[in-house]
Chains A and B, each alone.
Chain A
């Protein structure tokens, strides 16, 4: 891959866990890129041009060509900048398991987490239960491994760790202690945060919390 023709732009929205995934992957590979923030109330013409179907971030634009959907982008980054560290394992079976868990995280973590801080008051307990169930499932998958990828940080870790920047928000607005339920997962979070690529890509949990409060106010939630 020619290093002299590598123009990389990321269309992002800083509180988005999906955007954070891409930042981590780019950092892991040491790829320089330009990060442009999108305003959801006024999407840029570039975003609409690059992702006309979903009109969502993140979008990676590599030498003018767009790649959409965060886990798709992560795989793309791993394949194009195929020097170490590898994000996906090389064994086909392990790759299939990584993709399966990536999908699981995609379908469950965001939607269940959002309901914890945004849902109707009377449904709160049930929603908290569902969110914790999902985290417990993930903790079980982690097992005794240091990372979901095994000894090395990888694709599933990249897929999940951004949501941990939202844990403080879920705990404070949802009135729950995540560590009490999934201590090993919280241990894994701390381990991931020791990596530069993760520490640099995740906003401080208090910033996320402030964002969540403003969001709730703007949308009229209790």
Chain B
């Protein structure tokens, strides 16, 4: 059992921070959440993540780990309990591939679809998001991406399940809908209602208000 002095530098409302919170909760790790002000970065954040200066940062016995998926794998390896990654090397390679796919191809495009004022940009990113979501839809064969139980890919996809529907509403876009992606939609409802997951999600209304404010500022600055 790893020794305990665990801090998570983060902000409420970040999907990447949420992933780490889920992993910590799954393993039953007690930790201190240190809220960051990203407009006015703390010395602690700059010390522990000098290269990217971003959240989440997990600090375990004063040693920092950065990047949400790297942190989640670390948590899986450092603490016993429910496994987040599968045991079989081929299944692990697949899990890592899909988790990275979500970040590189789907979530980034979904975000850019919303937070842009350039119609061409928007169209291009909506198309890429739909393509990415379709791949995920086709990949989903069981109750969860991890099989009967959720795992790394499901945790990585919390961005898709919770944040994409939220920000698409901000911009009035139809990125991820039940009609277009029925299996994925069903998965998202199932996943978000799992007790451990539900407890880690931020409150929807304030986060919606925050992103709506951001979107409106963007529109205003473009006029």
Binding site for B on A (CB under 8 A): 53, 62, 65, 67-69, 72-73, 75-76, 79-80, 92-93, 95-97, 99-100, 103-104, 137
Contact = CB atoms under 8 A, between A and B. Distances in A.
Contact of B89 (A53, A79, A93): A79
A100 B90 contact: no
A104 B49 CA distance: 13
A77 B89 CA distance: 9
Contact of B97 (A65, A72, A97, A100): A72
Contacts of B90: 62, 65, 67, 76
B24 to A, nearest CB: 14
Contacts, number: 55
A92 B67 contact: no
Interface stretch (B72-80, B114-122, B191-199, B215-223): B72-80
28 contacts: A53-B101, A53-B105, A67-B93, A68-B97, A69-B100, A72-B96, A73-B93, A76-B90, A76-B92, A76-B93, A79-B89, A79-B92, A80-B89, A92-B77, A92-B78, A93-B65, A93-B74, A93-B78, A95-B73, A95-B77, A96-B70, A96-B71, A96-B73, A97-B65, A99-B67, A99-B70, A100-B65, A103-B70
Nearest to A78: B89
B93 A137 contact: no
Interface residues of B, number: 22
A76 B89 contact: yes
A96 B67 CA distance: 10
B77 A69 contact: no
A104 B67 CA distance: 10
Contacts of A95: 73-74, 77
Contacts of B82: none
B7 interface: no
A26 to B, nearest CB: 15
Contacts of A67: 90, 93, 97
A30 B73 CA distance: 28
B135 interface: yes
Interface string B48-67: 00010000000010010111
Nearest to B74: A96
Interface of B: 51, 60, 63, 65-67, 70-71, 73-74, 77-78, 89-90, 92-93, 96-97, 100-101, 105, 135
A220 to B, nearest CB: 24
Nearest to A90: B77
A103 B67 contact: yes
A100 B63 contact: no
B66 A100 contact: yes
A137 B51 contact: yes
A67 B91 CA distance: 10
A98 B90 CA distance: 20
B111 to A, nearest CB: 17
Q: Which of A69, A75, A93 has the most CB of B within 10 A?
A: A93
Given A72-B97, A104-B51, 11 more contacts: A72-B93, A72-B100, A76-B92, A93-B65, A95-B73, A96-B73, A97-B65, A99-B70, A100-B65, A100-B67, A103-B70
